[in-house]
Structure 1
Amino acid sequence: MIEVRDLRKEYGGFVAVEGSTFGVDSGEVFGVIGPNGAGKTTTLKAISGLLEPTSGSVRIGGRRADSRETRRLLGFLPEESPLYEEMSPRSYLRFFADLYDVPRDAADRRINETLDRLELAHRDRALGDMSKGMKRKVAIARSLVNDPDVLIYDEPASGLDPLTTNYIIEFTKELAAEGRTVVFSAHNLYHVEEVCDRVAIMNEGRIVTKGPLAELRDRYGERRYHVFTTVEVPDATAEGDRYRRVVDDVEALEAVRADAIERGGRLDDVRTVEPSLEGLFLDVASSEDRSAPGPTEN
């Protein structure tokens, strides 16, 4: 559905994105993460057709991202999304439906169905009188008013309370389950981990790694095993009526089992602890920083 090839974007002499290449399939949630200034928002705006690449290409469904036909397939939610605060949610969304030439009957039906799903009851109150969470729901509804196949969400839950945040995360999963393609960026990596099938980690304008979360954990993460025994073994910590030792591989786990049996006990439980996305991100970003060449003297 989305094909990004050798994307490069310069602002004057500054390179914001360099050599980005990736694809996103229909029904997939693809995460783009990285520190501030990594090039995430520039990448999302290029996919949305709002920025023209300096070089490289972005195609959606085989068409250029900035074509008129493609824009009808897209819904974009920027990190900062000011609304027309004197308007009500209903009139605001009708306004954008008119911009997309959505027939009034279809627009009203779609607006009501979307606001029902988002549980937004106050549809005729001025937007300026609404909470940040309610405004964010209206902005999400705006991204859906043209019934898009592709959604670009930049920090959709930024600054919201935990309840509203959780609702938006679950709603994003529902959109993907309907077959829509979602590109998703967030600073809260727990949100990314909850919703994304694959991720690309960016740093200083480049994608330093990408892939399914399970694959990235295997490649970069340190899986550990918490081994519980019924008797004390070397380097174990007492926890209630059991003992726990943390080891890094199956060979060490088997050694703990043998120690327990030798002491007249047994292996009681093994728990595998996978690295979090945040841990992976920090490891990848720090290794990238260490491998980067230092400044040269003139």
Structure 2
Amino acid sequence: MITVDGLRKVYGDFVAVHGSTFDVEPGEIFGVVGPNGAGKTTTLKTLAGLIEPTAGTVRVAGEPAGDPETRTALGFLPEESPLYEDMTARSYLRFFADLYDVPRETANQRIETALDDLELEHRDRRLGDVSKGMKRKVAIARSLVNDPDVLIYDEPASGLDPLTTNYVLEYVRDLADAGKTVLFSAHNLYHVESVCDRVVIMNEGEIVARGTVEEIRAEHGETTYRVFTTVPVERSEPDGDRHVTTVDSMDAVEEVREAAAAAGGEVIDIRTRESTLEEIFLDVAGQPMPGSRRVAPGAVEGDRERDPSEPSEPPEAPEAAE
């Protein structure tokens, strides 16, 4: 459904994205995460057709991402998504349906279905008078008025309360179950871990880890075992009326078992702990990666010295339909 091959984006002498390559399958929720300035927003906006790549190819359903027909066949939800606050939810969504040339009867049906699915109340109240959670739901509904096959969601649960956040995450899963392909970015890595089928972690404009959460954990994380025994053994520590030994392999677990038996005791509990995605993220992206993101002299026409006060990513581009 989505193919990114050697994506590179340069602003003057600053490399925002350096040679990213990945693909997204139909019906998949694909996460793009990284620290601020890692290039993830530039990547998402390039996929949405809002930014032209400096090099490489980006295709959605086999067509270039920047083609007008491709842009109208996807839904984009930016992290900051201001609404027209004098409109109601219904009038706002009908306005965007008209921009996409959706027939009025079809638009009305889609709008009501989306608002029902999102359990959005006060559909005829001014958007300036509703809560942030309701505004975010309206923005999500807006991304669906053209019935796109591909959805690009940048921080869909940004600033929402836990109840609304959980609802939005469940709704994203429902969209994927219905056959939508979703690109998903969030700073809360628990959200990413709970909703995404596969993930890429970006840092300094490059992909530094990729795969399912389990694959990333196997390659970059670690598994430890806390073995509880009735008697002390070598390297154990007291834990109430028990003793606990932390080891990093099942062979070591067996050694603790044998040592406990030799001392007249036994193993009474074993607890496995795996690295969370957040811990792996901090490990692979928490420190600056080796190398520079500046373009080598002569590599790009129009090179210039970047003012340190400039942002590491470009200002927000306008939304596709606004």
Short-chain TM bin: over 0.9
SS of equivalent to 2:85 = coil
Structure with the larger helix share: 1
- Residue aligning to 1:198: 198
1:244 equivalenced with 2:244 (yes/no): yes
1:263 equivalenced with 2:263 (yes/no): yes
Contact 1:201–1:281 (CA<8 Å) still a contact in 2?
A: yes
- Residue aligning to 2:59: 59
SS of equivalent to 1:214 = helix
Contact 2:225–2:272 (CA<8 Å) still a contact in 1?
A: yes
SS of equivalent to 2:143 = helix
Q: Distance in 1 between matches of 2:156 and 2:92?
A: 19
Q: Distance in 2 between matches of 1:22 and 1:224?
A: 31
Distance apart, 1:100 and its partner CA: 1.1
- Residue aligning to 2:140: 140
Q: Distance in 1 between matches of 2:21 and 2:292?
A: 23
Map 1:63-212; keep pairs closer than 5 Å. Answer: 63-212=63-212
Contact 1:208–1:288 (CA<8 Å) still a contact in 2?
A: no
- Residue aligning to 1:49: 49
SS of equivalent to 1:144 = coil
Distance apart, 1:105 and its partner CA: 1.4
Contact 2:59–2:65 (CA<8 Å) still a contact in 1?
A: yes
Distance apart, 1:40 and its partner CA: 0.6
- Residue aligning to 2:300: none
Query: Structure 1 residues 269, 18: CA separation in 2 closer, same or farther (over 3 Å shift)?
Result: same
Q: Distance in 1 between matches of 2:171 and 2:240?
A: 41
SS of equivalent to 1:234 = coil
Q: Which runs of 5+ in 1 are unaligned?
A: none
Contact 2:204–2:293 (CA<8 Å) still a contact in 1?
A: no
Q: Distance in 1 between matches of 2:240 and 2:212?
A: 38
Aligned Cα RMSD in Å? 1.7
Give the ranges of 4+ consecutive aligned residues of structure 1 lying more than 6 Å apart after TM superposition: none
Identity of aligned residues (%): 65
- Deviates most, 245-254 or 32-41: 245-254
Deviations 1:97-153 (A, max 9, x none): 111111111111111111111111110000000111110010000001111110000
Q: Distance in 1 between matches of 2:287 and 2:93?
A: 46
Contact 1:30–1:199 (CA<8 Å) still a contact in 2?
A: yes
Distance apart, 1:292 and its partner CA: 3.5
- Residue aligning to 2:315: none
- Residue aligning to 2:227: 227
- Residue aligning to 1:214: 214
TM-score (normalizing by structure 2): 0.87
Deviations 1:138-169 (A, max 9, x none): 00000011111100000111111111111111
Query: Structure 1 residues 35, 130: CA separation in 2 closer, same or farther (over 3 Å shift)?
Result: same
Distance apart, 1:241 and its partner CA: 4.3
The count of residues paired between Structure 1 and Structure 2 equals 294
TM-score (normalizing by structure 1): 0.94
Which amino acid in structure 2 is aligned with residue 188 of structure 1?
A: N
Distance apart, 1:240 and its partner CA: 4.5
Which amino acid in structure 2 is aligned with residue 223 of structure 1?
A: T
Which amino acid in structure 2 is aligned with residue 215 of structure 1?
A: E
Q: Distance in 2 between matches of 1:240 and 1:123?
A: 57
Q: Distance in 2 between matches of 1:174 and 1:62?
A: 25
SS of equivalent to 2:200 = strand
Contact 2:225–2:273 (CA<8 Å) still a contact in 1?
A: yes
Contact 2:93–2:141 (CA<8 Å) still a contact in 1?
A: yes
Q: Distance in 2 between matches of 1:249 and 1:287?
A: 28
Q: Distance in 1 between matches of 2:270 and 2:293?
A: 44
Q: Distance in 2 between matches of 1:245 and 1:143?
A: 52
Deviations 1:166-208 (A, max 9, x none): 1111111111111111111111111111111111111111111
Which amino acid in structure 2 is aligned with residue 92 of structure 1?
A: Y
SS of equivalent to 2:50 = coil
Q: Which runs of 5+ in 2 are unaligned?
A: 295-322
Distance apart, 1:250 and its partner CA: 1.5
